[in-house]
Amino acid sequence: MSVTKGIAFAAGGVKGATHIAFLERSGDVFDVVTGSSIGAVVGGLYALYGEPALVKDITFSLMKKHFEDLKKTESENTWRGLFQRSLFKADLLFSVLKEAFGRKKFSDCKKTLGVVVFDTENMDSLLVTEGFLIDAVVASSSVPGYFEPIWIGGTPSLDGGVLAPTPVSQARELGADFVVASAFNRERKDGFKNHFEMFFVMDRWKEILLEREELSKADFVVIHDVNEPWNAFDKYEEIYRKALKNLRGVILPW
Which residue numbers are catalytic? 37, 159
Residue 248 · residue 81 · CB < 8 Å: no
Q: Of 141, 57, 129, nearest to 97 (Cα)? A: 141
3-class secondary structure, 144: coil
Q: How far is CA 52 from CA 17, 30, 127, 167, 199, in A?
A: 12, 11, 23, 20, 37
Cβ density class 159-188: b for 16+ within 10 Å, e for less: bbbbbbbbbbbbbbebebebbbbbbbebee
Distance separating alpha carbons of residues 32 and 166, to the nearest angstrom: 14
Which run of H or E residues covers position 119? Answer: strand 112-119
